[in-house]
Structure 1
Amino acid sequence: MPLSHRLIATLVALIWGVNFVAIHASLTHFPPFFLVALRFALIAVPTIVLVPRPDVPVKWLLGYGIGFGTLQFLFLYWGMATGMPAGLASLVLQASAPFTVVLAAAFLHERVSGRAVVGTSVAVVGLAIIGWGVMGGTTLIPFLLTLAGALGWSIGNICSRQAKPTNPVHLTLWMSVIPPLPMLALSLVTEGPHRIVQSLAGALSMDAAGALAGLVYTVVVATVVGSGAWTWLLSRHPAGVVSPFSMLVPGFGIASSWIVLGERVTGTEIAGALLVVAGVVFGSTHHTPRRVDADPPVPASTGPRPDEVVDVSCRDLAQ
């Protein structure tokens, strides 16, 4: 990968890391469940009008939308609204990687390599350390909610893998059609029509400027620009070359939360974070044996196989 492309990949990780600060800003004005519905509705409307529906079984499209779009962001936004620090949230969501390994082995009967088992175990230990570190404070419940969001992400990963779309971008965009209605219904029941109307009525006021800017950043910058650049990189390089850059997201998330929001992390949380990232990186990399036959190597320009793109593109709307 040339230096310019590495810089683009790093920029995408930065965009997605800062997105947790943007979500925090949006939650200062909009109720969390309604914010999830609003976020995806702003993507779903142009998608229905302009983007062809992906040629995949409806059940896997629904599963992807429910797991990745609905459950992940329901619990993430709920957790952050009840006190989960933005930087720590960007890290805990990485639990989706070990969750995906376990679900794939249980339901898809995929073989799990020894390296993946070790990496998953290390990541789980890191999460346990983080959980132990926050157990004495007020962030345990938000931590568990965010962890549930990571589980939702992993469910979406399994469904997208089973969908096997020829165009992963179309699947990712059409996934956004699923969350708005159930999240709006949940918001009406739990948050109430008055709070929804109040948040919309004051959305253009100066007091809500930061929240509105955060929403625009999440939809336009993190989703359209970030996901578009990520997909562009995946079309030009193997997935195994591009995907490790996503491990930079928690670092940027924690750093931006410290700079913008003044969040602090304890030594225990840092130790757990290092184990989580190390475990995910170790478990997601593999050694590819050298070819011993006479077949010519596949040109780099052909890009990754469709199934490789699916696995990684699941991160496209994660932040």
Structure 2
Amino acid sequence: MGNLKKISLTDYALLLLVALIWGGNFALIKVGLEQIKPFVMSFIRFFLCVFPFVFFIPRPKIPVHILAAYGILFGGGIWGCANIAIYNGTPPGTVSLIIQLSAFITFAIGLVAFKERASKISIAALFISLAGLSLMLVKSGGGSDLVGIVTCLFAAFCFSLCTFIVQKHQPKDLLPFMIWSFLFSLPVLFILAVYFEGVESFYSLRDTINYKAIISLISQSYVTTLLGYWIWNYNIRKYSGSTVAPIGLLVPFFAIIISYIFFSYPINETAALSISLVFCGVILFNLRHKIEYLLSR
């Protein structure tokens, strides 16, 4: 039986920083989508992640089909779908919220596939956070139509699959792993962009792109993707997917706060309660070792 390892204070602080970065990323995506089509923006984002680094960084010793699977799931599955949802009117905070349901998918698969062990406190903590996520999703008004919900749920499923690819194959060199896997996402994203948005969506960039879109793309590529996911995947490899994933539940918390500050999305009593439940669940989950120790005395 696998044990859920305790996250060190340093790693926990880094993961909190990643959650903050990712929360802000959804707002930056909204800014970029004001000028760029969804699949085109995803293509440019991962193009910047790949080039010119792929010419200088050796390919990791990971089977090509694993690199391809991770890249396609990550680039097209997660962020292609997220961009589509935001572009069609789903608020950034709601998109981040639905995608973080991957924490529960990851946790459930980890218990079954990797025989990880979960205590009653762990399960209770996750259900508290799930209650907060569910309340926020049910009560959220801002344009969360069926298309947005379905695409985000698919993104959440892809996020979980990416987590388990990292956990199962344990890539030693995470940065090369990401850069080379993202190379395989480019043809898929290009085809999706041309099919759904037309070749003219690329040609029109010279007339529509501005400094806000450029800042959005640079931040998405280098800060959110290369830095953020390097830290995240490092901790998944070091601990486990079901240990790290619940910290991702804080991403909607940061996304909603940032959306409120910069885009004036309202935070009513229901939203405040939802955020509080998510926060309490994550704190309980990450204090479970100390609580279990105190209860066993």
Name the TM-score class by shorter chain.
0.7 to 0.9
1:260 to 250, 262, 265: 262
Give the aligned partner of residue 76 of structure 2. Answer: 70
Give the aligned partner of residue 139 of structure 1. Answer: 144
Distance 1:176 1:281, change over 3 A: farther
Q: Does 1:57 align with 2:63?
A: yes
Q: Work out the CA distance in 1 between the residues paired with 2:82 and 2:262.
A: 20
Alpha-carbon shift at residue 193 of structure 1 (Å): 1.4
2:181 to 166, 175, 184: 175
Residues 56-81 of structure 1: per-residue CA shift (max 9 Å, x gap): 23333223223233211121111111
Retained in 2: the 8 A contact 1:61–1:159? no
Q: Does 1:32 align with 2:34?
A: no
Q: Work out the CA distance in 1 between the residues paired with 2:127 and 2:63.
A: 33
Greater Cα offset, 178-187 or 8-17? 8-17
Retained in 2: the 8 A contact 1:86–1:257? yes
Q: How many residues align?
A: 281
Retained in 2: the 8 A contact 1:98–1:123? no
* Paired letter, 2:76: T
Q: Does 1:82 align with 2:84?
A: no
Q: Does 1:92 align with 2:98?
A: yes
Give the aligned partner of residue 49 of structure 2. Answer: 43
Q: Work out the CA distance in 2 between the residues paired with 1:4 and 1:156.
A: 24
Give the aligned partner of residue 149 of structure 1. Answer: 155
Q: Which has more helix, going by share of residues? A: 2
Q: Work out the CA distance in 2 between the residues paired with 1:92 and 1:44.
A: 28
Q: Does 1:193 align with 2:220?
A: no
Secondary structure at the aligned position of 2:59 is classed as coil
Greater Cα offset, 279-288 or 171-180? 279-288
Report percent identity of matched pairs.
Answer: 26
Alpha-carbon shift at residue 114 of structure 1 (Å): 3.5
Alpha-carbon shift at residue 226 of structure 1 (Å): 4.5
Q: Normalising by structure 1, what TM-score?
A: 0.73
Give the aligned CA root-mean-square deviation in angstroms. 3.5
Distance 1:3 1:103, change over 3 A: closer
Distance 1:32 1:140, change over 3 A: same
Retained in 2: the 8 A contact 1:43–1:176? yes
Q: Work out the CA distance in 2 between the residues paired with 1:90 and 1:186.
A: 22
Greater Cα offset, 82-91 or 160-169? 82-91
Distance 1:147 1:282, change over 3 A: farther
Give the aligned partner of residue 218 of structure 1. Answer: 220
Q: Work out the CA distance in 2 between the residues paired with 1:104 and 1:89.
A: 24
Secondary structure at the aligned position of 2:89 is classed as coil
* Paired letter, 2:173: N
Secondary structure at the aligned position of 2:266 is classed as coil
Alpha-carbon shift at residue 31 of structure 1 (Å): 0.8
Residues 153-178 of structure 1: per-residue CA shift (max 9 Å, x gap): 11111111111111223222222212
Retained in 2: the 8 A contact 1:98–1:280? no
Greater Cα offset, 29-38 or 241-250? 241-250
Q: Work out the CA distance in 2 between the residues paired with 1:217 and 1:225.
A: 10
Alpha-carbon shift at residue 25 of structure 1 (Å): 0.7
Q: Does 1:269 align with 2:271?
A: yes
Retained in 1: the 8 A contact 2:46–2:182? yes
Secondary structure at the aligned position of 1:61 is classed as helix
Distance 1:37 1:224, change over 3 A: same
Give the aligned partner of residue 317 of structure 1. Answer: none
Q: Normalising by structure 2, what TM-score?
A: 0.78
Q: Work out the CA distance in 1 between the residues paired with 2:160 and 2:75.
A: 11
Q: Work out the CA distance in 1 between the residues paired with 2:10 and 2:162.
A: 31
Residues 238-294 of structure 1: per-residue CA shift (max 9 Å, x gap): 76999887555433322221111111233333333333344445446652899xxxx
Secondary structure at the aligned position of 1:176 is classed as helix
Distance 1:46 1:73, change over 3 A: same
* Paired letter, 2:108: V
* Paired letter, 1:276: V
* Paired letter, 1:194: E
Greater Cα offset, 98-107 or 149-158? 98-107
Distance 1:278 1:93, change over 3 A: farther
Q: Does 1:21 align with 2:27?
A: yes
Distance 1:170 1:252, change over 3 A: same
